Amino acid sequence: MTDIVIAGIGQTEVGEHWDIDIRDLAFAAIHDALKDTGGLKPQALFVGNMLAPNLSRQAHLGALITDFAGLNGIEAITTEAAGASGGAALRQGYLAIKSGMVDVALILGVEKFTDKIGAGLDEALATTSDADFEAIHGMTPTSQAALMMKRYMHENQVPADGFAGFALTAHAHGAKNKNAMFRKAIKPEAYAKAEMVSAPLNMFDAAPNADGAAALILTRRDLLPREFKNPLVKIAGSAASSDTLAWHDRKDMLYFDTAQLSAGKAMKQVGLTLDGIDFFEYHDMFSIYAALQLEAVGFAIKGRGWKLAADGSLGIKGNIPSATMGGMKARGFPGGAAGVYQAVEATLQLRGQAGANQVAEARFGLIQSLGGPASTSISHVLQRMD
């Protein structure tokens, strides 16, 4: 088996695309990814989507998108793992090629949050939690994250502005990403004055729900077209792990076991330690998630993940560059597409095409997608090939 490489990437701007339907968003990303390959034709499509049946009144996305994109006849399925849906689609495509059953796979993440607003959106998001023991009592992902953050701050004596660094870092990086929803850096004073969403979670601690589509083309290295000119990036490691769906069933409610397991397995496949990771794209849907991932993966000891954001370690020139293109906080959180955006952005870093956000001499990137509060965690190690 030769190396499994990322032959093409495509993405749309993340934002509120009221006037674009889900198939048009998908096609825009697919078109750019196919063009980037230099002529490869996919044999299978793996779609990562979180809530299209609830928000867009559209299931069966595989058939919808292959038809609209002129790819009729190929295998096409949708994967769903809440916020990790895009990461799950990427893993399924990777495994399909690794098995030898597929030579060229198209990975698509797509989501349309603006197809529904208000209570309908909150109701749809609540389906990603335990319906019988959480959602039925009014728990939402945001209120759950607020409880998690409040307990974390209490146990670890975190000051009121202790999580500000995550938002400051994300917005500083997002300001230089033409596809980000928010392209303006913020100051500490803005964080301090921000409106509360669900105390102690303020508006800068939660990523905005947004529309978007991102796509990748995977293939074996030996199948690349002769005219392929992009720097080579391969998927060097891939792993997934699951935990209890209900947060209250955890042995430790402030530790993301799945983040540790999936990252550890993916890095072991490469023979890589944390010292070899040049940047980390975490799942910063909420600031508390980012802190807990940094701890679970091993970049910080338990209870001290927030300090990495506070001391500047997560900046482009820091020790652990993170959310390098704005993360979910500034780029926006496009639901089931989030994990594919991570992979596209990591590929840009490893190709040396990240512009003002370029991490110097980046060779290995770790990306991690979460479904809920790490009920699912999917990790990939991407590597620049010399």
Check whether residue 216 and residue 200 sit in a common domain.
Answer: no
SS (H, E, C) 207-219: CCECEEEEEEEEE
Q: Do 81 and 91 sit in the same domain of this protein? A: yes
Residue 38: per-residue pLDDT: 87
278 — pLDDT class (breaks 50, 70, 90): very high
Report which DSSP code applies to 157.
T
Pairing of strands 196-198, 201-202: antiparallel
Write the DSSP symbol of residue 194. P
Q: Smallest Cα–Cα separation from 115: which of 180, 209, 7?
A: 209
Q: Of 188, 223, 258, which residue is a domain's last?
A: 223
The answer to whether 351 and 229 have CB atoms below 8 angstroms apart is: no
CATH number, domain with residue 248: 3.40.47.10
Cβ atoms of 4 and 218 closer than 8 Å: yes
DSSP letter for each residue of 34-73 = HHHHTS---SEEEEE-SSHHHHTS---HHHHHHHHTT-TT
Residues 155, 26: one domain? Answer: no
φ, ψ at 226 (rounded to 5°): -60, -35
**pLDDT band at 222; cut points 50, 70, 90:** very high
Amino acid letter, residue 176: K
pLDDT at 1 over 90: no
The count of residues in the chain is: 386
> Which domain, by its residues, includes 325?
138-208+236-384
Helix (H) / strand (E) element for 64: namely: helix 61-68
What's the burial of 196, exposed, middle or buried (CB within 10 Å: 0-12/13-18/19+)? exposed
Within 10 angstroms of residue 21's Cβ, the number of other Cβ atoms is 14
Higher-scoring residue by pLDDT: 160, 117: 160
* Residue keyed to tokens 């990748």: 216
Q: How many helices (H) and strands (E) does the chain have?
A: 12, 11
The string of pLDDT tens digits covering residues 8-22 is: 999 999 999 999 999
Q: Return the amino acid letter for 275.
A: D
Q: What is the mean pLDDT of the chain?
A: 97
pLDDT for 349-374, tens place per residue? Answer: 999 999 999 999 999 999 999 999 99
pLDDT at 111: 98
In this structure, the answer to whether residues 32 and 171 fall within a common structural domain is no
* Number of domains into which the chain is organized: 2
State how far the Cα of 81 lies from the Cα of 127, in Å rounded to an integer.
11
State both tokens at 95. Answer: 């495994």
Shared-domain flag, residues 17 and 108 = yes
Count other Cβ atoms within 10 Å, centred on residue 189: 9
The per-residue pLDDT for 117 is 86
**Shared-domain flag, residues 197 and 216:** no
> pLDDT tens across 223-240, in order?
999 889 999 999 999 999
Q: Is the pLDDT of residue 276 over 80?
A: yes
Q: What is the pLDDT of residues 35-49, one digit of tens each?
A: 999 889 999 999 999
Q: Which residues contact 138 (CB under 8 A, 6 or more apart)?
A: none
Model confidence pLDDT, tens digit, residues 47-106:
999 999 999 999 999 999 999 999 999 999 999 999 999 999 999 999 999 999 999 999
Neighbours of 60 (CB within 10 A): 12
